[in-house]
Every structure is written in structure tokens, then in C-alpha cells.
Structure 1
Amino acid sequence: MNLSFKTYRKIFSVSARALLLSGFLLSCATYNVQKGKNLHEIQNSDNKTENDFKIFLVGDAGNADEPQAQHTLNFIKNKLDSADKNSMLLFLGDNIYPLGMPKESDKGYPLAKQKLENQLAITKNFKGKTLVIPGNHDWYHGLEGLKAQEEFVKSYLNDKKAFLPKNSCPIDDVNLTKDIKLIVIDSEWALINWDNHPGINKGCDIKTIADFYAEFKDLITKNQDKRIIVAMHHPAISSGTHAGFTSAKSHLYLFGGKFPLPGIASFVNILRSTSGGSMEDFSNSHYTEFANRIKSIIQDKENVILVSGHDHNLQYHENKNIKQIISGAASKTDPATIVEKTDFSSGGSGFAVLNIRKDLSSDVEYFSTKNNKLEKLVQIAVIKKHEEFINTYPDTLPATVTSTIYSERQAKAGKFYSWLWGNHYRRYYALPIEAKTKNLSDMDPGFSPFREGGGNQSNSLRLRTNDGQEFVMRGIKKSAVRFLNAQAFKKNSFGSELNNTFPERFLLDFYTTNHPFTGFAVNNMIDKLGIFHSNPELYYIPKQKSLGRYNQNYGDELYMIEERFSSDPKTLQSLDNASDILSTADILKNMRKDGKYSVDQDLYIRARIFDMLIGDWDRHEDQWKWAEYKVGDKVIYKPIPRDRDQAFSNYDGAAFKVIMNIPAIRHMKTFKDDIKSVRWLNMEPYPLDLIVLKNADQEDWIVQAKYIQEHLSDNDIDRAFDNLPKEVQDETITDIQRKLKLRKGKLEDYATKYFDVLQEKIPLTGTINKDKFVVTKTGNSVEVKQYQLDKKGEELVFEKKYDDSKTKELWIYGLEDDDIYEVSGEGKSKINIRLIGGYNHDTYNVENGNKVKIYDFKSQKNT
């Protein structure tokens, strides 16, 4: 079909008008000051008190060679000169436009250096601390450029902590005062393609994005009693250009040009705001996921403030309990708008000052430096001071209270529903239970609550005794909303919106697949086996004076109170004088450092076989703590299993017969007379088992299975349930006891079968220091010896032979430093051997390369 030029012009004209109209509908951003009608503005701003802490927020100052940027920096300098030591200057990234810090030999280096010096020069008379964090532009010369900028800043300011996170790692934290914690995140680390940056995590404790989010959550949980400032270049909430909000002018002039291009300019703007083509925009899926994960972790916390740059303007947002400050207008300007009624925005140049008061209330001041004039635009209340707790609760409590976990309505299920979804242990959740009450302060020793727990399901409260020991008060009723936000919808930030929804109601019913009280019996059994454990007790904890401000979310429910395995002296003494208590992540980090660290293999195997006995499939790495013991020049870790919620699970019902065959949840097994598949039951602990049990052989597993059979009698099993509430000691408990006795007799078989599963694919890891792996093929087997290399020579730290009748693959990881791999022997084993090098110069001497593959970095020198 041939169209005339006039027809083309007509079609283009109609399209252009349509694009232009849609562009104007989307173009609500301006350079003007905008305030939401419910903005928490402070009119009388003369509220400075002694010991206030000020944080000067300066973002995107990378064009510090330009006049407007220099005017802004001069205004900031004047404020810094008069500030006291209780203050910090925080540069929020994009410190060198356009490409970060180049090599010294690069022709652009002098200008880049000058831009950075212009910013740092304003600290000359500043009495407080200065901190620089990276932005996306600071990554444009890769790891080398980022580290060069870090070294320059630290040298200029003569402060090793002036640039964070250090060593191009993703996260760091600083105590600004005893009551203020600063968490610094390199948000670009979470967005970029790591394949383009070989060596990105070298020297960092955090190696994966999952570890990063876990570390961030842990820092948030540990510092609930402080004011937390989270500094990251990319904001989690925005109404600026990066979030797709553009000005009317941008739909006429493309990229700030002088000639109007209506239609085309709108098309480009709409494409940018919807395509996700740039990972620096909210429309990009990686950015959206990052922002949502950050928000989901902090959304139920009242003490967290996010501070960012990235958008070249000034913004304040308060949404779903999340407070976001944006100050990115030090050397560039872009329009912005307001979305919520509590928002603020200004598209002019300027900066912000966050004030944290002595009472830990906080407010933010925004300053404009437009037209070389300093003007305070607004002061906004961010967090109010804690309201004083006023006790209205009685001083005396009844000796016991009868209560249920769920209401009768919550536990009610019709015949069809029960047929489809099962009966589970539902009736026990609405069964009235008589429990002792306790006034926390009157217990021996007295308890004082000091922090909320950070679990994904339980509503828990950390308690501290008068002598420093820590306990946990954990609700028998689990929180469906907490789980949904932390796990099911962790890439979103629904928050309290999930209350009273179908997902919450369904999950609360799903929780009834677990018996609410059998956890009290598990520890009685494990006590017979010489494995460390807590000693939980059941109480009804009324709301009371001792709970203080925690009465808002705790009290008037059934709770389990048990020891928390922390490093306080009394706990360490109770654990045979352990030297420390560590998490699984901590011990694995130590094991990567040196061969002197190891796990008590016998105890761990015994604990794992016990898991199979009680049907506890939920034994991932967070379900363990480890007691540390120093034995000569070695360090041994003994396991402390935690959280027995999934023991004796019951997934009955027609629907579950189908659902439980889905591979992702096939490991969630009903507790029966026998274990049909030890492989699936152990799917969650399998990765940890592979790492810590590399020295174990089949006989080790059989010995520990026999140990349990010999030390846990049938009478012990019966007596273990005696401390359950008398109301639940019925035929269900009798049936659980019967199944336990049957399964106990089959433990050797379970142990042998699972050992065979572990032998199929073997991962072996070196350390972050120099290692040598000697692989010898003989007949149908492969022998592996691992040596640790140092100045003293070689030390044999591992030796084992693998037969191809059981083992199909060997994966040998050298990790960091200069490692040596030697493969020899005339054997023709069918085992596939994969040698995986790491950072630095690795050496491969392979004489018999049959079924051997080598993986290493192209960017690293290897031989």
C-alpha cells in the first residue's frame, strides 16, 4: 500500500497530538515548591535543644566545578563552620559527574579530582564527621574507579571511615551516638550486573543479594531501641524524574534542547517511564524489587528514616510508615511533584538538614540556594518523641487464666472445608487452656523487655534478666501478616494492608497443621541425647506495667518463655563454659578463613537424625546457633537447634494430597509411621549438611542413629509429653508417641539412606587463603587431599576417597588467594570433577583431564 506524503503527515500529526496530550496528562512535576495539605510542617522552628545531632544531607554534588554548585557548597560551608561536633556532613552519592573517578593517567582525571576536592574543601573548619557514599555515576569506572575514589576521600580527610561502605562492599554501619545508628548501603551494588565487575565481592563478608537483605534486616532488628538512619543513593520512594514524573516542558523539548519536538519528546518520556530500560529508574524491575525489599523490611518500624539523593531535587515522602528524605540538588536540578498529602517537593537547587533531638524526635529542614540566595523552604516533623507510658493496669494478677489461641470463629470449619483442607490440629487452637500467669518483673530473676523479635512468623519480645541473661517471650499464636510481608510478598510492601484479608485468614488456618504445644515435649526428648536446647515454659502474660510501651503489641495472650542463646556470661556458663555463641553465617565465614574452625560432627549428625525422628523438615541454617569452644589451636562449634514449630506436622485434606506434590514444597511432610523419602524431608538442611559434614562417613551416621535408639527409651518418649497442658493430653498425643517409637526403630535405615543422598554431589571448599587440592584417580574412585599453605609449608587439613558407585560429581572451590589444583592418576572413575577457581592467580596441573572441567575468571591471571 502506497501512502502520499500528505497522508503520512496527517497520520503523524494525529499521533503527535495524542502523544502530546498523554504527555501533558502525565506531566505534573514542576520546579516550584509543593506541599501536601497534611504535611507535618513545623511553624515555630526555634526548638533546638542541647545534644541535638545534625546531619547535613548533600546529594549529587558531582558537578562541583560549576557556579551554581559552588554557591550551594559555600552556603553549606557557612553552616558547617558554625556547627558543633554533634553533627555530620553526608554526601549522598554521584560525587563525580559524569563518570566517577578515572585513572590518574586519564585526561579527565584532573577535572574529576577538582570536582571532588571542591566538595571536600567545605569541611576545613567543620568540627563534626564527614562521610561520603557512592552513587551510580561513581561506578562508571568500575571497581577500580570506585576504590580510587574511596582512597582519595580517606586520604584527603585523613579518616579511614570517611567513605562507606568500605572496599566496594554493599553495606556498613556506624554508631553516630549511643542512640543513633547510621546504616550505609551502596544501592548501585544491588542493581548492577555483577558479571561486568569481576571481583566485585572480594574481601566482603556478604557474597549474595540474599545475604545483603538478611544483614540489613538483622541491623534493623538489633537497633530497634535507637534512631536508625539508612543512607543510600537510590530512594525507595520518589515523585521525581526517575519515578516517571516529568514536567510539561520536557514534553516539548527533548533532553533540554532549544527546539520544540512535540510528540517525539512525549514519546521518549513515556518510553522511559514505562520501559524499564534504565536500571536507574523505578520502572526497571531490579530497582523496583530493591526498593520494595528495603521497604518491606522497615515498614513496621517507627524508628527508621531513609535519606537519599539520585533525584536532582528536594523531596519528602511519608507512606505506609516509611519516611523518605531526598536531597539530590547540590549541583543539578530536575522537577518533582507531590503524590501523598504528606509530601513535599522542590525542583530548585539546595540541600537538607536532618535534626535528631535529644528525645530522639526528629525533623528535617530544606534549604533553597536558587539564584545565589539561601532560603529555608520548610521544616517537617519526621518522627515524634515516644509518648510516656502511663500505667493503667492492675498490680495484682490471678494465679491462672484460661485462654485460647484462636477465637472459636477463627477455628471453625465446615464439613466440606475440612474434607478439602483437612482437620489438621485446628481444634486445639480454639481449645481453652488454663495457664499460669506471670508479672515479668516479679519472676526469678526479674524480666525487663528491651526489644521486639525479628522472626518471620512469631510475635516475640526479647527479655533481659537482672543478671544480664536474655530470654524470649514468643506468642503461641503466629502472625500471618508478618510472614506474608517477610516471605510470601517480600518483593512488595503491603504492610498492615494484609490485615483481615483472605491471605491472612488462609495462612492462620494453615498454621494449624502444626500442633501448638508439642514443642514443649521436643526439648524433653533432646535432653536425653546430650544436645543443647532451651527450656520453654507456657504462660498467659497479661498486659501489665512491666511491659511498658510494649503493651501496645503484646500481652493478654498465651506465650512461651525460653532462654535465648546469646553471649552473656550466664548463658555461656550453662553451655559448658562456651567462649561465644555464633550464627550459622558466622561459623561458615570463619570456616572459609581457616582450617582450624570445624563443627562437632558427631553432635550435629545426632541432632540431624533427631530432626528426622520428629519429622522436623524446617532445619535451614537460621534454625541453628553454635556454641564455640577453643581446644588447643583449634576452634570447635557445637550445634544448638532452635524453633521446633514443624515437628509432627499434619497436612491432611484432599487438597493437600495434590499441593504437597509440588516440588517447591514437597519437603513439607506429614508426620507418619515411616519416612517415605529422606531426600525430600531433608531438602532444606541439605545444603548446610553438605558443607559441615564433608568428613563424615556412613559409619558416623550409623553410630549416632544407634546412640539415639539406646539413649531415648520408649518411656522417655511417653514422659516427654507430661508437661503439655492437660487439656491436650489425649489420643492425638498418644498417636504421636506411637509413631515416634516406630520411627526410632528405623533410624539406622534413615541415616544410611540420607548419607547416600549426601554422597551424590560433593562440594568441597578451600579458604580465602592459599590452598592446594591434590586429586588422585585410582580405579573407580577419586581421592581428594586439601592442604593449607602458609610460610611454614603445607598442612593436610582434609582427606577423603569417593567411589563412583555413590558419588556422581565433585565440585572443588578454591575461593580466594592463589590456589593450586593437581589432578593425576590412571583411574577411570565416572565421577565428574569440576575445579572452580576464585580471585587471584590459580594454578592448574591436570595430568588426567578425563571428566575434569575448570572454571575461573577470564579477568584473573591463571596458569
Structure 2
Amino acid sequence: MNYIRIKLLIAYILFFATTTVFSQQIERSIFITANTADYNDSGVLKHIISEANNQENSSVLIIGNAVSKSNLKKVIAPQLNVLNDADEVVFIPGYKEWTKGHKGVRNIEDYIQDHSNAKFFPDNAEPIKHHGLGENIELITVDSQWFLEDWDNHVYINEDSEIQNRTLFFLEFENRIKKAQGKIILVAMYHPIETNNKQGLFKNIGGFSSQNFQNKQYRTLRNRLKTIARGAENVIFISGQGKNLQYIKGSVPQINSGAAGSLEAVKNGEEGDFSLKKNGYVRLDIATDGGVTANYHAYEDGTFKEVFKTIVLKGDTNQLEPYTFKENHPNTQSASIYTKKATTKSGFYKTLWGEHYRDFYGKKVNAQVVLLDTLMGGLLPVKRGGGQQSKSLRLEDKAGRQYVMRALKKSTIKFLQANAFQETYIGDVLDGTTVDKFLADFYTTSNPYTPFVIGGLSSAVGVNHTNPVLYYIPKQKVLGSFNDDFGDELYMIEEHVGDTQIESESFGTPEDILSTADVLQEINKSGKAVVDEPSYIRARLFDMLLGDWDRHEDQWRWALYKNEDGTEYCSPIPRDRDQAFSKYDGTLISTLTRLIPGLRKMQTYDDELRSVKWFASSPYHLDLTLIHASGWEEWEKQAGHIQNELTNADIENAFEAIPEEVKGAVIEDIKVKLQGRRDNLMEIAKAYYLYLNKFQVVTGTQKADDFTITRLPNGKTSLKIDRKDLGILDHTFSKDITKEIWIFGLDGKDNFVVEGEGDHPIKIKIVGGKKNDTYDFRNTRRVKLYDYKDKENTIVNKRSKKWLVNDYELNNYDHKKVKYNFNQLLPILAVNPDDGLKIGVVSNHTSYSLQRNPFTYKHSINAAFYTSTSGFDLSYSGEFSNIFHNWNFGIEGLYTSPN
């Protein structure tokens, strides 16, 4: 009897819990279907509309294949008539929408929007679009077929888009996910990230079609999107490729609703999944508490029936505080970044891997204890930060100004996820592993407390900056659910470099604050926006003064100012100074940072800079993009300014921000080296100026531009870029400094003129762009044009050297694509019974220029000596790209001694 009562009690509890979830107030109902171009007598669309009209707030999503290869009007018009009474209808392209290429997609968008109230997303030729479906629901629509298309077949595929390559697409998707944190995020795209469709033999081994689930390009798409989504919360993917009904629970929920017409087979999935080969649709009910339920309806026996119902996301059911918080806190707290055990290493370990600043991480320092609701008048957490290493929170005060709360202890997992596992979500799998511990120890190469001195140094030389302050932040009620990952450790709090802080004097009180991506778009748009080159050069020289090599694009924000004539200029705001004064000592670490090209930028801070080329490798492409008009005189002026303005007293004052507990010989040594590097800054500036100007990349605008290239005596070349009455650039290059120039016309009907009979001309490569460009090469020496073969071009002089191929990567501007090469020398050590010990060396030289597949050319030379025979061998291999388009040529040779 007791057993029966227990079962009844459990059943009652489960029923009550389920009823509670399903009975929450519905914020919005979303009806999902796809493949409506061939819908049949089941009347899926008509039933959806009748049900949607019974809901207070509803949306209908048609996720792909709403058209067929036949007449557009004939296929889509009946659907629009049925959908006309719906509150909101959104069409999303599938693969059939791409039958006539990107222009066909635009025609479909225009027709739908001209003949109905429906929306077509993504719109305006973009591959991704975000759209609010309410205060707490974010719809992110993706044109997945855009990603899967062979872009070499579409000359103008991204003509009107701000996203010009797939890398930018992933960045935009990640940004959209980050900005929507705290909401229910629906990612709608035709192709699913998970499927239970029966694949068949060819599909299982990959096949050749981009529609195959195992296709390489498709696999990259779904793996990257899934990995990004798993790093967030409350993300649901909804798709329509499968002509059936599916629910896949998975690590990220996947809903497939493509059963509006013809059907295809589907297999059973894992426990909790659902699969059905019947006509039907899915209704998502999103409750006001964040709960999401999926209701599957199928056409059976002449009517629609609910065949499956599941909770996709549970709502906010937390009614109990998960933490007991202290009521009283001391004014200061003694704390360290790492435990003493984690920073205690043997003498042999230190010899091999270095001392670094490991002691700083294990030493306790006294920091002010703060409660966020009383700091700066009261701060509230807004969302998590998105850095690749830092664990951070965005905070906001009562006036709307935002700040960043960043833990001094960096996240090894975030670093690995962003750099090593972009297509696989690792979560906490590596926590506590050898990899995790090694990377945590490698982080000790950066000084954790020197970021607090940068503000004082920046003020002295006139560089914009944040003002970080060290705090100990305990777990506290205001952190809410963020207490799971934040609190009870050391943090810095500084201004968030964004538009909520435009009144900040240390940011220059601008009219707006832009990201680097925004600035690059503004520069290329019309030529009316420019970067303040003197202030940027000063900021870059300041990077070199500090030894801060990690200056990639996201480490910069830009203060925007508007002139009375309508032009704009942007001044840099550097941020995230984690790598200043780094220390890469230890036999193995110092060897690796010299041998491996990707690590050569990591140089131990000293009064000299070992290699400006490798030190500047992260922002090198950005420097090429932003600095064109400034000669050595400007670099000399800015280096002299820093040398004159940064006094020894300024250095002493700035370093007062270091906690007392870690002051001592190490900090004093940094100050001495800083003074020495300041004194050497002019030589460093000269070395980088010469390296930066050896190769140049120049762009026009998205409008029609006139490029006039004049060959002058003594190896000089004048380049003028004009647009109507606006001068974009007027600069003269010298062969003594500049060896090669790439010129990109971008969009618009550009006109390129090469004239003059000067001697020793600089090599120039001109990439026209997307419109009918005119190439008037009156002097054809050392100049070559690149453009699409299937695009109309006007080549005045038929003797002009040219390379006309349908190659999207070659013919489109990517500011990260620059000319560079590197050498790598590696030792060879092996042993075998016949030859004894093999001692040798391998030398690799790889060059990357405009034409690549995937490099321009590569040489490899091997030399080895054998102790048992006193013999030796020499071998050579070379590979040269694009002897014919997409065809490389390789050569090998081997010589061995007689013995």
C-alpha cells in the first residue's frame, strides 16, 4: 500500500511540474515549416494560419525552399495569399532560392516584399540578420546556402554585403550570440546542425554535393555554429532541409520542420529525440519566464493531430538563493591569483620553462573589498564578456555607463576554445588536465599587475587609455546567477570602451566610439572617413615601448569626430594591455619563441627590441591598412614626442599603482628597461618604418575612383586617388624603401591610369573589383592587373600584363591578406642500426603573395650526416602555385654520398 502511495505521489509531482511549465503565460507562438514550394493537399500552410490566428502573438517562419525552378509568381503567389492574414511571416532562403544565384535571391526578396507584408530574412544581400520577436526573444536568420555556394561562380555574390568572407560571417554570428545573451535565441537556417535523415552510402562518405550532411564545407559550417552556440545559453536551432519532422535534444536543441509537401525517410534518434515521416509542422511556445515547448502536429486521417510535445528549455524556476552571502566584509582582503602550490616549481622546471612572473601569481596582495551595488553609485551585471582569455562581466551604473569586471586569473579553456578547438566544444573537459595546468603556467609570462600602470604612462605621452582599478570582489547577491562563475577572487574594473563612455576624458570625449570593423567599413565606403595617422602612429610606438605585442583588431576601439565639411576622423583607443612587459625566459620557451614563426612575436621585455618584424606580426595587416600618407618625418616626430614627454618621474609615478606586496627588484628592473627602451625608441621606430613601407596595400572606395599612377625618375612612383572632387590619397613612393604595392579598386567603376617613363619602377599589382573597370596602362613595365574573366573589363592597352580568372579570393579585398614570408630552421636527430646517429637540419622557406594555393611558393632543403658511415645526403623540394589557375608545380631532388 505504501508503495502504491509513493508511486501516486511521484506521478502527482511530475504532473504538477509539467502542468506548471506548460501553463505559463505565452509570450509568443512561432509556427515553423519549410519546403512549401511543393506543398500538397494536407494543407499545412492553411492549418498553420488558422492556428496562428488563435494566438495573441504569433510568427510564421518559412525556412527555405518556398520556390522551385518553375515560374516564381506561379509558386509563391498562392502561398502569400494563404499567409496574408498572419501577424508576422518570415521567409528564409534555402537551396532552391539560389537556383538563379544571388540575383535570384534578391528577386525573390523583392517579390515577396512587394506583394505581401511578409519579411524576407536575411535581407539586403546579407548572409545573417537579427530580428527581435519580443523583448526576450532574438531571431537570428542565416542564409546557409550562401555559405555553401562556390563563390568563384558568383562574381558579385557579396557586392552589397558588409560581410565579404566566411571568416567575417562567423565573427558576426558570434557577436550576435553574445549580444543576445539573456534572451531566448532562435537560429533559423535551412540546413540543420544535426539530423536523423537517412543519409545513404554516398552521403555517409561525404559525396560531392554541398547539400550532403558530410560535405566538407557543410561540416565546417555546422561545427563552427554549434561550437559558438554551445558557449552560450538558451540557443535553439530551427531548420527545414529534412522533409519530415524531427526533434534532436543534443547539446544544442535542433528542430527540423520541413514536411509541408513531399516527404523523405528519417531514422529514430537517441532517447528523447523524435522523428516522423508525415506532413505537419512545429509550434514553439515561448513563455514569459523563458520556458520553451515544442509542439509537433502531423496530418493523420484527414486532420492535424498533436503527435509529440517536449520541453526544449526550462523557464526560470529558481526560487531559492543558491548561496549564503556574508553580511559583513573587511575593507581589504589578502588574496593571490594562483595557489602557492600551483606556482611552486623545481629548479629544473624553472631552468627549462623559465621563472616568468610566477611568484607574482602565487603571492597574496591586499586589495580593497567592494560590493557592486555600492561601487560608483551602484553597478549591476549586464552580461558576460567575450574575450578569448579573460573571464569577465559587463557592468552598468545608474546613468547607463558600462564597465568591465575582469578576473586577473585568465581562462585557459576560453583560450583553447577560441584558438585550438573552433569546431569542437570542449567545455570543462580539459579542466585539471596537464594541458590546462601547462597553459595556466604559461600565462605567468605576463605580469598580472602592470596593466594598472599603463594609464599613468599613457597620460604622460597623450595616448587614450582605460583606467583599471584592482579590487577583491566577493560573491554577493547582486551577481545573481553569475555567482556560479564569478566572485571571491581578484578583479580589475575599468571603463568599457564603448558608446556609453563617450564623456570619458581618457577616451578623448568623442562623438561616438566605433569598433575596428566599423572603422574599416567607414573608410572604404566613400573616403570621407579617415584615421588620424599621427595619433595611431604614436599609439603603435607606445605599444613597442611597452613590449605589448598582442594588438590584434579587437584590442582597439576608435574615437569618432566629425568635421564641419561632413568628413570624419578616428583616433585610436587601445585596450587590454595584458602583454606589456612580458617575460619568456627558460631554455625551452626562449628556444621555441625563436624557432616557431607563430611564437616569434613573444619577446622578453628588454631595453632593445629583438625583431620589430615578428613583434608587430599581429597588427601588421592593420598598420598596412591604416597608415598611407605618413612619411618618416611623422614617425620621427611621434617617437621624439614620447621620448620627450615620458620622464623618469612619470615612470616612477605610474608604477606606484603596483601593489606593495610585489614591489621589489623585479619591478625596479622593468622600470630600468622601460627607460632604456624609451631612449632606443627612435631606432625602433626607424626599423619598423622601413619594414612597414617595404610592402604597401592601398585601396579605393566603394564608389567610382580615379587612380593615377605616375612613374617618376630615380625609382619614385606617384599615386593619386580621387573621387569626384574629393582627394583620397596623394603620395609618392620610393623604390629605395618600397618594393611592391597592391592596389584594390573595391566597388564602383574605377579608372586606372599608369603613365610616366621613370626608371627603376616599383612592382605594382592592381585588383580591379566588381564593376566594369578601365585599365589604361600607357607604361606596362612592372604592373599587372587582376580581375574576373567573366566580368566586363575595359583594357585600353592590349599589351597590358593581366591575370583574368574567376577566383573570389584573388579578386576581392581582404585587409588581412598581406605579402609575407618566413624561414624555419629545425634540427634533425634520429638513430637506426645501419646508419647510426643521424644529425641534420631542415630549412623551410615559405612565401605568401597575392596569388596563393594555399601559398605562393615553398622551398625545403634537408641536410643530414650519418655517424656510422660518415655519409651524408642533401635533398630539395619546391612547390610553386598557380602555374595554371589552381594547378601547382612541384619539383624534388636528392643527392647521397657514395658511403
**Range into which the TM-score falls when normalised by the shorter chain:** 0.7 to 0.9
Amino acid aligned to 1:137: K
Shift in alpha-carbon separation, 1:56–1:45, aligned structure 2, 3 A: farther
Residue matched to 1:80: 52
Residue matched to 1:287: 218
Conserved in 2, the CA contact under 8 Å of 1:362 and 1:382?
Answer: yes
The residue correspondences of 1:660-679 to structure 2 (distance < 5 A) are 660=593, 661-679=595-613
Residue matched to 1:362: 292
Residue matched to 2:61: 90
2:201 to 265, 270, 277: 270
Conserved in 1, the CA contact under 8 Å of 2:354 and 2:586?
Answer: yes
Residue 713 of structure 2 corresponds to residue 763 of structure 1: no
Amino acid aligned to 1:675: L
Instruction: Please give the alpha-carbon distance, in whole angstroms, between the structure 2 residues aligned to 1:408 and 1:372.
Output: 72
Residue 107 of structure 2 corresponds to residue 148 of structure 1: yes
Residue matched to 1:67: 41
1:516 to 430, 434, 448: 448
Residue matched to 2:798: none
Q: Which moved more, 1:603-612 or 1:491-500?
A: 491-500
2:168 to 206, 211, 216: 211
Residue matched to 1:265: none
Kindly state the Cα deviation for residue 501 of structure 1 after the two structures are TM-superposed.
Answer: 2.9
Shift in alpha-carbon separation, 1:735–1:338, aligned structure 2, 3 A: farther
Amino acid aligned to 1:58: T
Residue 77 of structure 2 corresponds to residue 117 of structure 1: yes
Q: Which moved more, 1:506-515 or 1:43-52?
A: 43-52
- Deviation by residue 1:482-505 (Cα, 9 ceiling, x = unmatched): 111122111222223232333322
The residue correspondences of 1:645-664 to structure 2 (distance < 5 A) are 645-660=578-593, 661-664=595-598
1:826 to 757, 760, 763: 757
Conserved in 1, the CA contact under 8 Å of 2:206 and 2:213?
Answer: no
Decide which structure has greater strand share: 2
Q: 2:736 is paired with a residue of what secondary structure? A: coil
- Deviation by residue 1:114-140 (Cα, 9 ceiling, x = unmatched): 3323332321322x1111011122212
Q: 2:202 is paired with a residue of what secondary structure? A: helix
The residue correspondences of 1:238-249 to structure 2 (distance < 5 A) are 238-241=195-198, 244=199
Instruction: Please give the alpha-carbon distance, in whole angstroms, between the structure 1 residues aligned to 2:438 and 2:16.
Output: 42
Residue matched to 2:363: 431
Residue 181 of structure 2 corresponds to residue 181 of structure 1: no
Shift in alpha-carbon separation, 1:772–1:573, aligned structure 2, 3 A: same
Kindly state the Cα deviation for residue 385 of structure 1 after the two structures are TM-superposed.
Answer: 1.6
Q: 1:478 is paired with a residue of what secondary structure? A: coil
Shift in alpha-carbon separation, 1:167–1:326, aligned structure 2, 3 A: same
Instruction: Please give the alpha-carbon distance, in whole angstroms, between the structure 1 residues aligned to 2:428 and 2:78.
Output: 46
Shift in alpha-carbon separation, 1:270–1:183, aligned structure 2, 3 A: same
1:744 to 662, 666, 678: 678
Instruction: Please give the alpha-carbon distance, in whole angstroms, between the structure 1 residues aligned to 2:94 and 2:642.
Output: 56
Residue matched to 1:533: 465
Instruction: Please give the alpha-carbon distance, in whole angstroms, between the structure 1 residues aligned to 2:503 and 2:225.
Output: 34
Residue 241 of structure 2 corresponds to residue 310 of structure 1: yes
Residue matched to 1:252: none
Q: Which moved more, 1:50-59 or 1:447-456?
A: 50-59
Instruction: Please give the alpha-carbon distance, in whole angstroms, between the structure 1 residues aligned to 2:229 and 2:778.
Output: 55
1:225 to 164, 169, 182: 182
Residue matched to 2:256: 326
Shift in alpha-carbon separation, 1:44–1:443, aligned structure 2, 3 A: closer
- Deviation by residue 1:656-713 (Cα, 9 ceiling, x = unmatched): 2332121122222221231121111101111111111111111100110010000001
Shift in alpha-carbon separation, 1:40–1:841, aligned structure 2, 3 A: farther
Kindly state the Cα deviation for residue 574 of structure 1 after the two structures are TM-superposed.
Answer: 6.1
Instruction: Please give the alpha-carbon distance, in whole angstroms, between the structure 1 residues aligned to 2:81 and 2:297.
Output: 20
Kindly state the Cα deviation for residue 569 of structure 1 after the two structures are TM-superposed.
Answer: 6.1
Residue 643 of structure 2 corresponds to residue 709 of structure 1: yes
Instruction: Please give the alpha-carbon distance, in whole angstroms, between the structure 2 residues aligned to 1:177 and 1:847.
Output: 60
- Unaligned runs of at least 5 residues, structure 1: 1-38, 100-107, 245-268
- Unaligned runs of at least 5 residues, structure 2: 1-13, 795-899
Conserved in 2, the CA contact under 8 Å of 1:41 and 1:378?
Answer: no
Shift in alpha-carbon separation, 1:422–1:339, aligned structure 2, 3 A: farther
Q: 1:532 is paired with a residue of what secondary structure? A: coil
The residue correspondences of 1:714-729 to structure 2 (distance < 5 A) are 714-729=648-663
Conserved in 2, the CA contact under 8 Å of 1:289 and 1:492?
Answer: no
Q: Which has the higher contact order (CA 8 A, sep 6+)?
A: 1
Residue matched to 2:571: 638
Amino acid aligned to 2:582: S
Residue matched to 2:32: 57
- Deviation by residue 1:763-815 (Cα, 9 ceiling, x = unmatched): 111111111011100121110011012xxxx3322100111111111111111
Residue matched to 1:476: 408
Residue 831 of structure 2 corresponds to residue 860 of structure 1: no
2:621 to 653, 673, 687: 687
Conserved in 1, the CA contact under 8 Å of 2:24 and 2:289?
Answer: no
Conserved in 2, the CA contact under 8 Å of 1:421 and 1:653?
Answer: yes
Kindly state the Cα deviation for residue 343 of structure 1 after the two structures are TM-superposed.
Answer: 2.1
Instruction: Please give the alpha-carbon distance, in whole angstroms, between the structure 1 residues aligned to 2:97 and 2:345.
Output: 58
Q: 1:495 is paired with a residue of what secondary structure? A: coil
Q: Which moved more, 1:486-495 or 1:726-735?
A: 486-495
The residue correspondences of 1:325-724 to structure 2 (distance < 5 A) are 325-386=255-316, 387-388=318-319, 390=321, 392-568=324-500, 571=503, 575-633=507-565, 634-660=567-593, 661-724=595-658
Kindly state the Cα deviation for residue 543 of structure 1 after the two structures are TM-superposed.
Answer: 0.3
Shift in alpha-carbon separation, 1:371–1:776, aligned structure 2, 3 A: farther
Number of aligned residue pairs: 776
Instruction: Please give the alpha-carbon distance, in whole angstroms, between the structure 1 residues aligned to 2:21 and 2:667.
Output: 66
Amino acid aligned to 1:118: P
- Deviation by residue 1:414-448 (Cα, 9 ceiling, x = unmatched): 33332322222122211112211001111132111
Cα-Cα RMSD: 2.0
